[in-house]
Structure 1
Amino acid sequence: MDILLIAGLWLDGSAWDEVVPELTALGHRPVPLTLPGQGDGTTSATLDDQLAAVVAAVDAAPEKPLVVGHSAASSLAWLAADARPGKVAKVALIGGFPATDGRAYADHFAIEDGAVPFPGWGPFEGADSADLDQEARHRFESAAVPVPEGVARGVVRLTDERRFDVPVVVVCPEFTPDQAKEWIAAGESPELARATHVEYVDLDSGHWPMTTRPRDLARVLAQAARA
């Protein structure tokens, strides 16, 4: 199966470099995406531009793909399911939950000169970054790409209720499946509350398991693809 890999804020397709060979060895076709404004050299990209790139990858897949969204890109993966509900086999969300219709894609951080730079580790101290050593943090900082304002402040638009029939796997890294279920039951993820098929997978790591536990993450994604 094709597995489309969408990294979260500040990351390009190289974020999956250690996951790709593991997925290939497990018999799948990983496709890491470098999106407009996310490592391709453009700075004026919008959320619509990024969604168009993801949808194009879905359309190009020889069979229905598994679409993987990490962190904020969980919303992009879900938007792809909304845009192509009949062409997406399943959505896997790593450490994130899809935004609802009418919400900004990622308005959590300050904008500087038309973009959102990596804010440093302060907002991520604790469970998010506990498993990142200094070398891993330095690599992340060196590779981080400021997110264009048009992406971060882009408004999520969901229009096709058939998205709720697309199976979802919630991969739980810095939180547990029980916590995810509690948050959804409490109304913190209205989209997943309405999804028909949701399963949860525990992955004991920080917020960036593609860096700290790439082999285990690949196995989780391969299992999701097989199921």
Structure 2
Amino acid sequence: MDILLIGGLWLDGSAWDDVVPQIEALGHRPVPVTLPGQGDGRTGVTLDDQVATVLAAVDAASGKPLVVGHSAACTLAWLAADARPEAVAGVVLIGGFPWDDGKSYADLFPIVDGVMPFPGWEPFAGPDSDDLDDETKAAVAARAVPVPEGVAKGVVHLSDERRFGVPVVVVCPEFSPAQAQEWIDAGDVPELARAKQVELVDLDSGHWPMFTRPAELARLLVDAAV
């Protein structure tokens, strides 16, 4: 099965470099998705442009792919399920949840000269980054790609309720499955509250397991592809 890998904010396709060979060794085809505006030097990119790129990857896949979104890109993965509910095998959400209709995609940090730069590690102190050593932090920060304003402030549009029939796996790194279930039950994640099949799986890591637990993450993704 093709496993489409969509990195979160500030990440380009190289974020999956340690995960890709692990997935291949387990018999599946990993496809890191290079999002416009995240690695190609373009700053005038919109959220719609990124959605279109993800949908093009879905359409180009061999058979029904598994769509994996990390962090903010959990919403991108869910948008793919909304636009192609019959063409995806399932969605995996790593360290995040999909926004509901009408929300801003990722208007989280200040915009500077038309982009949202990586804010440094201070906002992510604690469970998010405790498992990252100084060398890894420096490497990730050096490779961080500013997010175009049109992506960060883009508005999420969902329209096809068939998305609720797409199987969902939530990989819980810096939070536990029990916490995730509490948030869903409390109405904090309305999209998943309506999803018919949601599995919560634990992963002992911080917010960026592709850097710190690539083998374990790859195994969870392959398990979700079965």
Instruction: Work out whether the TM-score is over 0.5.
Output: yes
2:205 aligns to what SS in structure 1?
coil
1:150 aligns with 2:144: no
Structure 2 CA distance for aligned equivalents of residues 2 and 144 of structure 1: 26
- 2:113: which partner in 1? 113
Question: Equivalents in 1 of 2:180, 2:121: separation in Å?
Answer: 23
For residue 138 of structure 1, what is the aligned residue in structure 2?
138
Q: Which residue of 2 is the match for residue 92 of structure 1?
A: 92
d(CA) in 1 for partners of 2:156, 2:95: 19
Runs of 4+ in 1 over 3 A off after TM superposition: none
C-alpha displacement of 1:89 = 0.5
- Shift in Å, 1:220: 0.4
Following superposition, the deviation at residue 100 of structure 1 comes to: 0.6
Deviations 1:101-128 (A, max 9, x none): 0000001111111110000111100000
Supply the distance in 2 between the matched residues of 1:47 and 1:157 (Cα, whole angstroms): 10
Amino acid at match of 1:220: L
Give the Cα–Cα distance (whole angstroms) in 2 for the partners of residues 123 and 187 of structure 1.
25
Which residue matches 1:222? 222
User: Secondary structure, in 3 states, of the residue corresponding to 1:182?
Assistant: helix
Q: Percent identity?
A: 73
Asked whether 1:13 is paired with 2:13, we answer yes
CA distance in 2, matches of 1:194, 1:63: 26
Matches for 1:30-179 after TM superposition, within 5 Å = 30-179=30-179
Distance 1:109 1:179 in 2: 25
TM-score, structure 2 as length reference: 0.99
State the shift of 1:79 in Å.
0.1
Q: Deviations over 1:45-88 (max 9, x none)?
A: 10000000000000001100000000000000000000000001
The 2-side partners of 1:39 and 1:86 are apart by 30
Q: Which runs of 5+ in 2 are unaligned?
A: none
Q: Secondary structure at the match of 2:4?
A: strand
Tell me the alpha carbon deviations over residues 19-38 of structure 1, each in whole angstroms, 9 at most, x when there is no partner: 00000000000000110001
Would you say 1:198 and 2:198 are equivalent positions? yes
Measured in 2, the distance between the counterparts of 1:225 and 1:63 equals: 12
Q: CA offsets, 1:135-191, max 9 Å, x none?
A: 000000110000000000000000000000000000000000000000111111000
Q: TM-score, normalised by structure 1?
A: 0.99
Q: Secondary structure at the match of 2:201?
A: strand
One-letter code of the match for 1:85?
A: P
